[in-house]
Chains A and B, each alone.
Chain A
Amino acid sequence: MRSIWEASLVIARRDFWATVKARSFIFFMITPLLVVGFAILTAVVQSSNRDEGPKVAIVTDAETRDALIEARARLVAGTDEREFPRLERVDPAQDVRSQARALIGDDESDLSAVFSGTLDRPVLSGPERIDNAFVGKRMTLIIEEAQRNRVLAGAAPGSQPAAVERDVTAGAAGNLREVRTGVARFGQFIVFFMTLLLATMLLSNLIEEKSNKVIEVLAASVPLDAIFFGKLLAMLGVSLIGIALWGGMAALAAAFSVQLMPAGFELPDISPAIGWPIYVLLLAVYFTTNYMILGSLFLGIGGQATSVREMQNLNMPVTFLQMGFFVLALTVVGGNLGLWQWAAFIIPFSSPMAMIAEAGQSATLWPHLLAIPWQAFWVFLLIRISAAMFRKTVLKSGGEIRIMPRFGRKTQS
């Protein structure tokens, strides 16, 4: 008996070249680039017209005004510019109250509130909703700070920051946790997104097979298992090309942007808990198992479809299903171990995405040594089931695989 492996390679090679030479391959290659490009563009646009925060006019005497501005400066020094509303000086007119109302009603002024009065009797004009919101609360803080300053003006030695002895550590668990959550999410997204793209290609490939009626030639020569496995291998090969190309471009982009950084700029330490080399390896492994598991599921379901329309109808729920498993896998990021998390690790359709997140946030290796064989077992099982279902319903009793209407030739009756 010839080896299944050898037969799979024959199928895989054909599918691989057919896919790479097809027009849709270009689309496949540029889709992720478009997505990334779009994300970057949105970020750039957002940062260029960045909202500078709400603005409050101060219509008051010079002394109060300076006290407020100085108080704000002190507060901002300890926090961040964007943590407090900007202050805009306006010279007071005769009737300050109505001036304030006029200012705030003016469409051109883009003011959120207007301060008038003095530190002893501060008045804030503005709609009711600012009271328990950013503008109202932060203005209160500024006013309080100014009042305190004035009281302490003689006693305090001025605005010295507290002297703190620094005991410098290598890192901090709290920060690390945040970074690792990010790495975990990133890995999951990559795996999910790539699989989504590939699975769609796999389906269109199967449609082709059926409509060309090549399947009988294949089924007469090699085991169905080998056909299904070969198809999965081919798409995996395609994805490797994609990964190589996109990865190369990402590396180039990263190298470039490091060059562009000002001297002394230090890269933030973003490393997965398990360390980069093993992480990258695991990323590749889990991408493969995730793709193989979902791909064989797709083949099993797609193999049952009897028409292109039916196949497209199936595509939708299957994609939703995939998104469901993605969401399930998301629960393991940062969370504690509960029922959902265990489910995410064990259910084969979410296990790879959950495990890659685990690699991002935990340095323990042995769970991976359990998870990988477990997932591989499911790949094997799903291929067997898909092939058996195909044999039973399509080849055996379902009989004719009719995708296109048959023109010209008579049908057997």
Chain B
Amino acid sequence: MSSAFAIEAKGLFKSFDGKEAVSGIDIAVPTGTIYGILGPNGAGKTTTIRMLLGIIEPDRGARTLLGHERPLEAAREVGYLPEERGLYPSMHCREAIAFMGALRGLPLDVGRKRADILLQQNGLGDYTHKPIKSLSKGMAQTIQLFGTIVHQPKLIVLDEPFSGLDAINQGRLEQMIRDEAASGTTVIFSTHVIHHAERLCERIAIIAGGQVRFEGEVATARDRLRPQVRLRTRAADGPWRAALPAGAALRDGLWQFELPGTGVEPLVKALVDGGAGIEELAIERPGLHDAFVQIAGEAAARQIEEDRRADLEAAA
């Protein structure tokens, strides 16, 4: 087993009550990267993560976690934040963090010291002796996050870590993920919010309907789309029109089309020669959102957009 990959999975299948939730997933997470699993609700992200961690067994397929074929054998080096957060309500914050560390083999006294440091560093020193039940949901989630990393794992797995957090805590989490990655930790998280994946990840897996539709670098996903050209001209018509590619569409006086294979120069020449009068000309790299639409299809894109909006409403 090479140490190039923190996680490798091949052909994972899982059905619940005869219905297939995950249908043949291949994933390889390079060591030391931030890796995103992106997909709408119900795509199979959580099921995949649970199989990778050994909480449930796949019906078929194989996976290794930090080189171990039995995931629990790697438990000491893994941190996991489940989608369904759970802490003992009457435990104090420091104890809760230390307890989660102890589950992963960290001695309790070390765990307590590190809990204090984590709380202090994040300006939450007042919370040390507060019971979990007195915290807001977002704050409890932050405490659980500390418990997830307190034993300094080599691999951190976060299932929808951003949901349920306000903007401030989301920012804190982003920073934490970057810091962990900078110190060589592999971070893998699932999300149904495209821009979280886009901002943080080097590599992603786009999952829809229990299958991986794309796996690779974010840049590669984007590169599957040609850059987009936006053009606004003073003249409505003229001989330059013939130079526009066939797929060009005019909307509110704005032309939009894929950058032709010949590049932008012949087009510019035609525009200048034809006296079009360029008011606006932009060449844009496509975003991950556009790539997602192309990769996962319109339906999945619409759903992921709805999921995001539902999140915002729930948070409001």
Contacts and interface: CB of A to CB of B under 8 A. Distances in A.
A212 B82 contact: no
B1 interface: no
Interface in B266-316: 310, 314
B103 A222 contact: yes
Contact of A213 (B41, B55, B85): B85
Contacts of B104: 221
A48 interface: no
Nearest to B85: A213
Interface stretch (A6-14, A168-176, A181-189): A6-14
Given A7-B103, A217-B100, A395-B56, A412 B41 contact: yes
Residues of A in contact with B, size category: 20 to 34
Interface string A204-247: 00001000111111111111000000000000000000000000
Interface of B is mostly: loop
Interface stretch (B68-76, B113-121, B122-130, B195-203): B68-76
Contacts of A2: 75-76, 105
A217 B82 contact: yes
Contact of B310 (A21, A217, A220, A410): A410
A38 B270 CA distance: 105
Nearest to B46: A412
Interface string A388-399: 000000011101
Interface string A150-164: 000000000000000
Contact of A397 (B17, B46, B82, B99): B17
Interface in B51-85: 53-57, 72-73, 75-76, 78, 80, 82, 84-85
Given A215-B86, A222-B75, A10 B103 contact: yes
Interface in B84-117: 84-91, 99-100, 102-105
B42 interface: yes
Given A214-B86, A221-B104, A396-B57, A413 B75 contact: no
A1 interface: yes
B40 to A, nearest CB: 10
B301 to A, nearest CB: 18
A223 B42 contact: no
Contacts of A220: 53-55, 75, 78, 80, 82
B42 A409 contact: no
A409 to B, nearest CB: 6
Interface string B36-48: 0000011000100
Q: Which of the listed residues A21, A221, A413 has the most CB atoms from chain B within 10 Å of its own CB? A: A221
Nearest to B157: A220
A408 interface: yes
B310 A396 contact: no
A217 B103 contact: yes
9 contacts: A21-B90, A214-B88, A217-B103, A222-B75, A395-B55, A409-B164, A410-B310, A412-B41, A412-B42
Interface of B: 16-17, 41-42, 46, 53-57, 72-73, 75-76, 78, 80, 82, 84-91, 99-100, 102-105, 164, 310, 314
